[in-house]
Amino acid sequence: MSVLDRFRLDGRTAVVTGSTRGLGRAFARALAEAGANIVIVGRDADAAAEVSAELATLGTRTLTVLADLTVRADIEQILAKATDAFGRVDVLVNNAGACIHKPALEVTGDEWQQIIDVNLTAVFVASQVFGRHMIDAGGGSIVNIGSMSAEIVNRPQWQPAYNASKAAVHHLTKSLAAEWAPLGVRVNALAPGYMHTDMSPIHEPQFQRYWIEDAPQQRAGEPDELGPAIVFLASDASSFMTGSVLTIDGGYTVF
């Protein structure tokens, strides 16, 4: 097998949570370009239809499942529908996430729980549900979307719940990787830095001073710049890699 062939995902099926917009949409397209069938997971039917139409132009087979990832039954339904459509799931990208920008003293109990439920508990439950399927099927790859915020404290906004949840995701990644490596399932994480999406006000002066000017590359990343890394982690190109966190942040965390 050639080097580039190891990145191919032809005949495999990838589930991407939160794939109706932003980074998740870019991840879905990247995996589709590598040949995978894509299960689009989100809560917005219209946005999901747009993603499906976009991927159809690549000749990709897609399935859309609308789901609330904080509900185990919904996650189990994603797996059931995916296996009905494609036979098995080979790749899970745990991308869906949420963030609240508030100082610690202002975060309510409900807000804290909301972030932990979406960013951490849903990642564990999805990994558990799909991990069991992958083990029974003979193997697979799980990619958790963490963040450089697992290692730094972002400024000028405060987001303690988000930072804590992503740090936990990184360590959960290592824990699952250790358990499941002998069973053929690899678990890795991707930790992006500041990315140019609709959800990130990177051009506002109060943020640009810290988010852009403090970064060695002096810019935010574009979602499609993460696509090759997702394909790498999902594919046989990273066959000897598990329990790792791949940071792509324009060098932000080197300071």
* Token output for 183: 């069973």
Whether 40 contacts 62, CB under 8 Å: yes
Q: Is 252 tagged catalytic? A: no
Task: List the one residue out of 233, 244, 246, 240 whose CA is nearest residue 90.
Answer: 233
Helical segments of the chain, H only: 22-33, 45-56, 72-86, 109-116, 122-137, 160-180, 205-211, 227-234
Residue 245, helix vs strand vs coil: strand
What is the DSSP track for 172-190? HHHHHHHHHGGGTEEEEEE
DSSP assigned state of 221 = B
Question: Interior CA angle at 123 toward 223 and 88, to 5°?
Answer: 85
- Number of Cβ atoms within 10 Å of the Cβ of 10: 9
Residues serving a catalytic function are 162
